[in-house]
Amino acid sequence: MEYTHLGRTGVSVSRLCLGTMNFGPLTSEPDSFAIMDKALDLGINFFDTANVYGWKQGEGITEQILGRWFAQGGNRRERVVLATKVYNRMSDGPNGRGLSALHIKQGVEGSLRRLKTDYIDLYQMHHVDRSVPWEEIWQAMERLVQEGKVLYVGSSNFAAWHITLANCVAQSRHFMGLVSEQSKYNLNTRSIELEVIPACRALGVGIIPYSPLDGGLLGGALQKATEGRRANENQQKAVERNRSKLESYESFCKQMGQQPADVALAWLLHNPAITAPIIGPRTMEQLTGSLPAVELKLSAEQLKKLDEIWPGPGGTAPEAYAW
């Protein structure tokens, strides 16, 4: 496994991040435990979760699974750089969601309890909250850092101007601010190349792509069109919308002698702005199947061909759309 710094921090994380969203809803607790143990054995030390995963309001089912895994000992907690999130609804009432200081405090206390730990390495805002001033958000986060409950703060689904404004306000308060941004990014979804990636690179904010295979579309969807998630109606529609691109892509991967999923992950890892794509395995086979991507090096010609198949927005703003 290869490692890199998380944004401009000094902490080292694996180039693949273990996403846990399937733990509970789709993957049993014993299987989730086995996947996490194997991930550590493979050198994956970066785990991502969220208080809403498990999708039963207020229960934090996935966090509870991680907490029981940590409780087994064996230095599991100490070996993991743990990321979770706050924003989405966890209780009824007007303060049950968002980024108010009240909800942030309630959120972190709930996550710490479920995760059976006394600190969170990376506490991420799951979405921007336009109704809360940054002074309030940073005051709440600063308190958590002072108390040792949170080490670093990250964002998710933020626009470039949100990231820039957030870090400008943090700097004025002599606070480190955002060190990472979790965005949807893959060969088929490249809009963050316009402004989010340039902003993050300028500010030392590491990017953690989620949905690196675009829900399985880039993982050999034509080859496996009748299996698992690829068989559902929405995925079938996505396949039909992108059929010509997928035919070219899967043919090109075959010429390379590589699996489509490995090429999609390797493409992300070639971008110097990327910290670690999130892999969200449902099974042990899916976990171990992601590893070859770390060692797969794409040539300039191969990268150019992938850009031809999956064209991005044309570069960074404003040159992508203006002279």
The confidence score (pLDDT) of residue 58 equals 87
The confidence score (pLDDT) of residue 167 equals 98
Which residue reads 């590893």 in tokens?
A: 291
pLDDT over 60 at 278, yes or no: yes
Domains identified in the chain, total number? 1
Q: Quick check: is 205 in a domain?
A: yes
Type and span of the H or E element at 263: helix 260-269
pLDDT over 60 at 60, yes or no: yes
The whole-chain average pLDDT of the chain stands at 95
State the CB neighbour count (10 A cutoff) for residue 199.
23
The confidence score (pLDDT) of residue 225 equals 62
Query: How many whole angstroms from its chain centre is CA 220?
Result: 21
Q: Quick check: is 317 in a domain?
A: no
Which residue reads 């690196």 in tokens?
A: 212
Q: From the candidates 3, 53, 119, 123, which is the catalytic residue?
A: 53
Q: Quick check: is 246 in a domain?
A: yes
pLDDT tens digit sequence for 116-168: 999 999 999 999 999 999 999 999 999 999 999 999 999 999 999 999 999 99
CATH of the domain at 224: 3.20.20.100
Q: Which of 50-64, 76-90, 228-242, 270-284 has the lowest mean pLDDT?
A: 228-242
Q: Quick check: is 86 in a domain?
A: yes
Q: Quick check: is 51 in a domain?
A: yes
| Exposure on the CB side of residue 218, measured as CA atoms within 13 A | 23
Identify which of 150, 12, 130, 175 has the alpha carbon closest to the alpha carbon of residue 85: 150
Identify which of 118, 127, 62, 61 has the alpha carbon closest to the alpha carbon of residue 99: 127
Residue range(s) defining the domain that contains residue 251? 3-309
Q: Quick check: is 125 in a domain?
A: yes
Contacts from 96-104 at CB under 8 Å and sequence distance 24+? 98/129, 98/131, 98/132, 99/125, 99/129, 99/132, 99/137, 100/129, 100/132, 100/136, 101/136, 101/137, 101/139, 101/140, 104/137, 104/140, 104/141, 104/144
DSSP 3-state of 28: coil
d(CA 159, CA 21): 23
Q: Quick check: is 148 in a domain?
A: yes
pLDDT band at 323 (very low <50, low <70, confident <90, very high): confident
pLDDT over 70 at 51, yes or no: yes
pLDDT band at 80 (very low <50, low <70, confident <90, very high): very high
Three-state SS string over 137-148 comes to HHHHHHHHHHCC
d(CA 279, CA 296): 16
E strands, 170-321, where? Answer: 178-184, 206-210, 278-279
d(CA 71, CA 74): 9
Which residue reads 């980024």 in tokens?
A: 99
Identify which of 87, 174, 177, 96 has the alpha carbon closest to the alpha carbon of residue 130: 87
Q: Quick check: is 323 in a domain?
A: no
Type and span of the H or E element at 167: helix 160-172
pLDDT tens digit sequence for 228-250: 554 577 778 889 988 999 999 99
249 is a catalytic site residue: no
Lookup: tokens for 270: 């070639």
The percentage of residues in the chain with a pLDDT greater than 70, rounded to a whole number, is: 98
Q: Between 56 and 179, whose confidence is greater? A: 179
All residues at 6 or more sequence positions from 77 whose CB lies less than 8 Å from its CB, including other chains:
70, 117
